[in-house]
């Protein structure tokens, strides 16, 4: 509901769910979901509605809070007072994205069909094979010119005649059987024959028509053996290129021309094969900007040189991928290489496994260090803390609170070290009600000092299935993530926590609207002794990852500088 000045008076929960803005964010504002280019037309329709007319099912676009465009249908109705004066406007918005997607897909399919029909028409008009049609009585109704030339018989002599009258051999050959099958069963047939009269081999195909049969003849006498060998080679090549995960490419040394590109090229490069074949530069434009110079300088080496280089590629659908490029010289003519063959292989999984191995090695070192440090200083730390607690109410020591605070910090670090060092098999997982754990944890956290300036917005499913977990570790995990979120919002902010389950896992999402972080820092978050904060040694998220490993779950981070951070926890059922 908006007033006549386009200020929002009210929204319903469906609007909040569809567009992402809360009622508090919308009331009193000019509609923020209006794309700038559509604002003039929007004002026009508002003026029409102000006259008392109803605008029905206006198909347009609106912006969601995350700036995503949404296809919608809008109905604008005037709201009148008792005197019939328009005092406000009511807008009902429906999400029609799915319908629009279907319409666009229908348009695309229709265009493809038209293009296919056009190609078929062109082929039929320029066909060089023999072609003729017969009616249901097997009388000639059409003969193309290549067939007349092939048979050396003008069409006038055969049109209207039964094929067996013109060629009695048809009665003794599978011709008639195939023609009959094509007409009666409406199926295509293919067979080969040898003509004694013409001393030729023919490949014949019959197709059902509305009133008979269409027949294609191809003279393959001279090419029979060659075609057979070619078909065998093509089948082998097809099986190799379609089933190999690598992409094979034959190209000129300067990559200005591509002679062959296997089907895998489309999957690796993320572009249609036709586009790449017509414009080879597209394959180079996909290379990550930071790697383009290295790839270019490597590719400029003499064409006789064997190349092996790994580089990053920006895939339009799958984001950044790692590609291994190998180039070899082929087709030498008088010791001069005029073509190259390149093999592209997506090694993203391999690179990720290498990174996981490196991280695992770091974790192993930290685990060993954690065990050693914790056992060496835990006992004296306990003694010191105990004596300070005994004297806390007896002697007024000015720095006693600071000492106790620092000792508690050391104790917390030791606790995190011990979590990292403790073997998985020593931790017993028991089926627990994760919904109750989260509810109780949120109740306790409301009194935490570090959350005083932060608004916690829960959206928790109370019917979550039980999961195998260690409740103490789950509480430590959520606490760590809440602390990280509060550190990212020094001046206060909002913290969302939600949960839901599917058939495979329980999902917990924690999101803040804090400072966020750039991609280069996000890649390093969770590494031992890497921290963005002024205090701490970067163990918090590392401990969180260890806890998720113990629970055989996963933790994913998404962050954008200036827009906040989202953490997704997934626990298997």
pLDDT for the residue 536: 40
pLDDT for the residue 208: 92
pLDDT for the residue 537: 39
Which residue, 552, 569, 545, is CA-closest to 360? 545
Domains and their CATH numbers in the chain: 13-95 (3.30.450.20), 130-222 (3.30.450.20), 227-346 (3.30.450.20), 352-421 (no CATH), 424-572 (3.30.565.10)
Please count the CA atoms within 13 angstroms of the CA of 159 that sit on its side-chain side: 9
* Predicted confidence (pLDDT) at residue 424 exceeds the cutoff of 60: no
Q: Which of 215-229, 305-319, 415-429, 466-480 has the lowest mean pLDDT?
A: 415-429
Distances (CA, A) of 487 to 363, 543, 560: 24, 17, 16
* Predicted confidence (pLDDT) at residue 402 exceeds the cutoff of 90: no
Rounded to an integer, the average pLDDT of 80-90 is: 89
Q: With beta carbons less than 8 A apart as the criterion, state whether 253 and 340 touch.
A: yes
* Predicted confidence (pLDDT) at residue 203 exceeds the cutoff of 80: yes
- Long-range contacts of residues 327-330, Cβ cutoff 8 Å, at least 24 apart: 327/299, 329/303, 329/304, 329/305, 330/250
pLDDT band with cut points at 50, 70 and 90 for residue 159: very high
Phi then psi dihedrals of residue 353, to 5 deg: -65, -40
User: Token pair of 466, please?
Assistant: 């039980």
pLDDT band with cut points at 50, 70 and 90 for residue 510: very high
CA 479 to chain centre: 32
User: Token pair of 554, please?
Assistant: 């996963």
pLDDT for the residue 530: 47
Tell me which DSSP letter residue 162 carries.
B
Which residue, 56, 55, 49, is CA-closest to 87? 49
Rounded to an integer, the average pLDDT of 32-61 is: 90
Of 72 and 123, the one with more pLDDT: 72
pLDDT band with cut points at 50, 70 and 90 for residue 362: low
* Predicted confidence (pLDDT) at residue 534 exceeds the cutoff of 60: no
Tell me which DSSP letter residue 38 carries.
G
Q: Which of 116-130, 377-391, 531-545 has the lowest mean pLDDT?
A: 531-545
Phi then psi dihedrals of residue 469, to 5 deg: -160, 170
Q: What angle do CA 542, 544, 547 make, to 5 degrees?
A: 115
Report d(CA 490, CA 176) in Å as an integer.
89
Buried b (16+ CB within 10 A) or exposed e, 241-271: beeeebbbbbbebebeebeebbebbbebbbb
Strand pairing class (189-195; 200-209): antiparallel
Rounded to an integer, the average pLDDT of 399-416 is: 65
Tell me which DSSP letter residue 100 carries.
H
* Predicted confidence (pLDDT) at residue 500 exceeds the cutoff of 90: yes
pLDDT for the residue 335: 56
* Predicted confidence (pLDDT) at residue 529 exceeds the cutoff of 70: no
* Predicted confidence (pLDDT) at residue 397 exceeds the cutoff of 60: no
pLDDT for the residue 369: 63
Average pLDDT, the chain: 82
* Predicted confidence (pLDDT) at residue 407 exceeds the cutoff of 50: yes
Q: With beta carbons less than 8 A apart as the criterion, state whether 133 and 160 touch.
A: no
pLDDT band with cut points at 50, 70 and 90 for residue 6: confident
The three-state secondary structure class of 421 is helix
Cβ-Cβ contacts under 8 Å for 546 (sequence gap 6 or more): 363, 419, 420
Report d(CA 224, CA 237) in Å as an integer.
20
Of 126 and 60, the one with more pLDDT: 60
Of 304 and 375, the one with more pLDDT: 304
* Predicted confidence (pLDDT) at residue 273 exceeds the cutoff of 90: no
Strand partners, 209: 212
Phi then psi dihedrals of residue 431, to 5 deg: -65, 125
Give pLDDT tens digits for 178-197: 888 888 899 999 888 887 77
Residue written as token pair 């009600």: 433
Strand pairing class (564-572; 69-80): unpaired
Which residue, 519, 496, 492, 522, is CA-closest to 509? 496
Query: How many percent of the chain have pLDDT more than 70?
Result: 81
Q: With beta carbons less than 8 A apart as the criterion, state whether 249 and 344 touch.
A: yes
Which residue, 181, 192, 196, 195, is CA-closest to 216? 192
pLDDT for the residue 53: 92
pLDDT band with cut points at 50, 70 and 90 for residue 538: very low
pLDDT band with cut points at 50, 70 and 90 for residue 131: confident
* Predicted confidence (pLDDT) at residue 17 exceeds the cutoff of 80: yes
Of 485 and 121, the one with more pLDDT: 485
pLDDT for the residue 368: 60
């Amino acid at each position: 509901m908006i007033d006549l000045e386009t200020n929002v008076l009210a929204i319903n929960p469906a609007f909040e769910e569809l567009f992402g803005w809360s009622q508090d964010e919308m009331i009193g504002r000019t509609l923020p979901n209006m794309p700038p280019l559509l604002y003039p037309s929007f004002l026009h329709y508002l003026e029409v509605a102000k006259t008392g007319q109803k605008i029905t099912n206006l198909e347009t676009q609106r912006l969601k809070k995350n700036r995503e465009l949404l296809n919608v249908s809008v109905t604008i109705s005037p709201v009148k007072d008792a005197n019939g004066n328009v005092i406000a406007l009511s807008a009902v918005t429906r999400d029609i994205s799915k319908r629009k997607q279907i319409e666009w897909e229908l348009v695309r399919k229709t265009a493809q069909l038209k293009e296919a029909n056009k190609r078929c028409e062109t082929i039929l008009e320029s066909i060089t094979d023999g072609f003729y049609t017969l009616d249901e009585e097997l009388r000639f109704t059409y003969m193309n010119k290549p067939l007349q030339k092939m048979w050396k018989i003008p069409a006038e002599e055969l049109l209207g005649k039964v094929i067996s009258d013109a060629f009695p051999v048809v009665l003794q050959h599978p011709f008639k059987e195939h023609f009959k099958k094509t007409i009666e069963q409406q199926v295509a047939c293919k067979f080969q024959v040898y003509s004694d009269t013409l001393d030729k081999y023919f490949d014949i195909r019959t197709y059902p028509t509305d009133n008979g049969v269409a027949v294609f003849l191809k003279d393959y006498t001279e090419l029979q053996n060659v075609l057979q060998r070619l078909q065998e080679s093509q089948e082998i090549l097809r099986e190799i290129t379609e089933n190999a995960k690598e992409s094979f490419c034959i190209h000129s040394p300067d990559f200005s021309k591509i002679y062959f590109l296997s089907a895998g090229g489309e999957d690796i490069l993320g572009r249609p094969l036709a586009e790449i074949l017509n414009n080879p530069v597209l394959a180079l434009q996909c290379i990550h900007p930071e790697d383009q110079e290295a790839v270019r300088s490597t590719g400029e080496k003499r064409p006789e040189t064997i190349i092996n280089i790994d580089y990053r590629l920006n895939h339009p659908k799958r984001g950044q991928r790692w590609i291994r490029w190998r180039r070899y010289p082929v087709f030498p003519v008088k010791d001069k290489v005029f073509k190259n063959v390149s093999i592209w292989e997506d090694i993203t999984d391999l690179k990720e496994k290498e990174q996981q191995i490196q991280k695992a090695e770091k974790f192993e070192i930290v685990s060993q260090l954690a065990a050693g440090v914790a056992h060496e200083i835990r006992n004296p730390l306990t003694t010191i803390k105990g004596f300070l607690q005994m004297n806390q109410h007896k002697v007024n020591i000015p720095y006693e609170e600071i000492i106790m605070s620092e000792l508690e910090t050391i104790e917390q670090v030791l606790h995190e070290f011990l979590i990292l060092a403790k073997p998985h098999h020593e931790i017993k997982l028991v089926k627990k009600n994760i919904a109750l754990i989260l509810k109780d944890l949120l109740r306790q956290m409301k009194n935490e000092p570090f959350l005083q300036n932060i608004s916690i917005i829960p959206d928790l499913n109370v019917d979550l299935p039980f999961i195998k977990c260690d409740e103490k570790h789950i509480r430590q995990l959520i606490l760590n993530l809440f602390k990280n979120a509060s550190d990212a919002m020094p001046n206060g902010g909002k913290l969302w926590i939600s949960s839901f389950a599917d058939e495979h896992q329980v999902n917990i999402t924690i999101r803040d609207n804090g400072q966020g972080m750039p991609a280069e820092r996000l890649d390093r978050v969770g590494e031992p002794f890497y921290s963005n904060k002024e205090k701490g040694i970067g163990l918090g998220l590392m401990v969180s990852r260890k806890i998720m490993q113990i629970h055989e779950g996963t933790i994913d981070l998404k962050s954008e500088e200036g827009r906040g951070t989202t953490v997704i926890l997934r626990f298997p059922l």
